[in-house]
Amino acid sequence: MPLDRRQFFQASAALGASFALPAPLLAAEKGKERRIDLVSSAFTVALDPSGASRSAVWGFNEQLPGPTLRFRRGERVHLAVKNELPQETAVHWHGLRVPNAMDGVPGVTQHPIATGGRFDYRFELRDSGTFWYHPHQASFEQVPRGLYGALIVEEEKPPSVDRDEVWVLSDMKLDNQRQPVEDFGRILDIANDGRIGNQILVNGLVAGSQRTLTIRSGERLRLRLINAASARFFRLAIDGHEARIIAFDGQGVTPHPLPAGGLALGPGMRVDLIIDCMGSPGQSFPLRDLGRPPATPTVLGALTYSSQPALRSKPLASAVTLAPNRIAEPDLAKASDHYIIFQGGMRGSPVIGLVDGKPSRIQEIMAKQGLAWTMNYNAQHEHALMHEPLLHLRTGEHVMLHMINETDFLHPMHLHGHFFRVLAVDGKPTPHREWRDTVIMGPRQSIDVAFVADNPGEWMYHCHILDHAAGGMMGTIVVE
């Protein structure tokens, strides 16, 4: 271990008060494998540096969010996770194409890590991009308590920028004493929009115009945004700047501006922006969450110009397109069609699901099992993954997956171990055919995605509203 643990925590505590995430954790190189130690535990943090109160959270290495892990594509890593939580856990590396046994899903890819126990995750980083890590055990409780962190894999030749920043967006549900409300897993949250916090956090601190990112006029900024909230969607807009989207979920996309109504970022999703900062010294521009109408916009943070003279008078002319990762291209001519139908929730038409093979009304499923959602007519518990997988795919199969949302709710659907191209929404082709690992399915919407099933194993496929996942929107896809 490169640093004595106490020294490490003291160093990170000293950094904790500043807004920017602490400097990336650097690991000593051990042969060609880089080792990082992560300890999940309960501790307290000051969410508002100007306030006196500290809030009880769970997190990694006594930091909220956990340390930003920064690697280079092609590196081999060893992530040693120690569990000091009062319950079992496991860590999933969201978006990384790892071997199945390293995917961090208890009951499917590994045994849960007991209190006091440890698990060693070792894999090669096949893809560059913006990723994150979080538990996949009781995730509806462990993630909103604070167990999440950014994982950045740099390109061999990253686009030239003056600043590369990570903003981890999340929220917490706090009481009057600024302590977490202990109401995880309520059926009312499960069957509706999920448990949404009353305090938005940016890099573990209360959101607002005081969360400034100080920049110099003329700088080119790469801003990586990660939605680590367990249920909240963000709809992002930046005043006074023409930000360009260069990546979704870590994968390069044709650079294009933010949509006029704001950029939707569902739970689990990431976006990389390039912003040429051409404001004047002393100016400040908010980055807002426009929310869901009729909600009023919330200021998340601000780009504030220092008084330093401009770095350059014209924006950099160099390209901002990312070199693609090596992802097998699905051949639509030979792709096989598969369908997943989603039903359930408190609103909408009555649905029928199967409980122990018997057709049941959703009200019965809720009352008897605490579940509220079905996928292909099946509802199952997060840790009762003894049911049939949703799909069986052959290794190398070209897949066209049609996702049909018959609910009145939004669902950010996440597939492990693969990226898919988003081809159509309600049958209408998408403008960028982007690669993603998580895609928003709007109410009553159908989404068509395609991919090559080239990573063998049993992979989770679930809604990233973690209360929905706990309430039945959790299944597996087998690549055999």
Q: Which residues of 76-101 are buried (b: 16+ CB within 10 A; e: fewer)?
A: ebbbebbbebeebbbbbbbbbbbebe
- Closest separation between CB of residue 442 and Cu ion, Å? 11
| Min CB(441)–Cu ion separation in Å | 8
Nearer to Cu ion, 400 or 463 (CB): 463
Q: Measuring CA to CA, which residue among 76, 58, 203, 62 is closest to residue 135?
A: 58
* Residue number with CB closer to Cu ion (104 or 412): 412
Q: Which is nearer to Cu ion, 203 or 438 (CB)?
A: 438
CA 2 to each of CA 5, 30, 38, 61, 84: distance values in angstroms, whole numbers, following the listed order = 9, 10, 13, 14, 20
C-alpha–C-alpha distance, residues 217 and 85, integer Å: 45
Tell the smallest beta-carbon distance from residue 188 to Cu ion (Å): 15
Q: How far is the CB of 465 from Cu ion (least distance, A)?
A: 4
The minimum distance between CB 468 and Cu ion, in angstroms, equals 3
Least distance (Å) from Cu ion to the CB of residue 467? 8
Instruction: Residue 155: name the closest of 322, 16, 381, 285 by CA.
Output: 322
Nearer to Cu ion, 411 or 416 (CB): 411
| Shortest separation between residue 138's beta carbon and Cu ion, angstroms | 17
Which of 211/468 has CB closer to Cu ion?
468
Three-state DSSP class for 255?
Answer: strand
Eight-state DSSP code of residue 336: E
Residues that bind Cu ion (CB under 5 A): 411, 463, 465, 468
| CB closer to Cu ion out of 255 and 268 | 268
Residues 37 and 80 sit within 8 Å (Cβ to Cβ): yes
Q: Is 31 exposed, middle or buried (0-12, 13-18, 19+ CB in 10 A)?
A: exposed
**What's CA 349's distance to the chain center, in Å?**
30
Tell me which DSSP letter residue 15 carries. Answer: H
Q: Tokens 């409980």 correspond to what residue?
A: 355
DSSP per position, 264-332? EE-TT-EEEEEEE----TT-EEEEEE--STTSPPEEEEEEEE-SSPPS-SS---S--PPPPP--PPP-G
CB of 230 to Cu ion, least distance (A): 11
Q: Which is nearer to Cu ion, 178 or 468 (CB)?
A: 468
Closest to Cu ion by CB, 125 or 138? 138
DSSP 178: S
Q: Count other C-beta atoms under 10 Å from residue 406's C-beta.
A: 17
Backbone angles phi and psi of 199, in degrees to 5: -135, 115
* Minimum separation from the CB atom of position 349 to Cu ion (A): 17
Nearest CB to Cu ion, comparing residues 164 and 406: 406
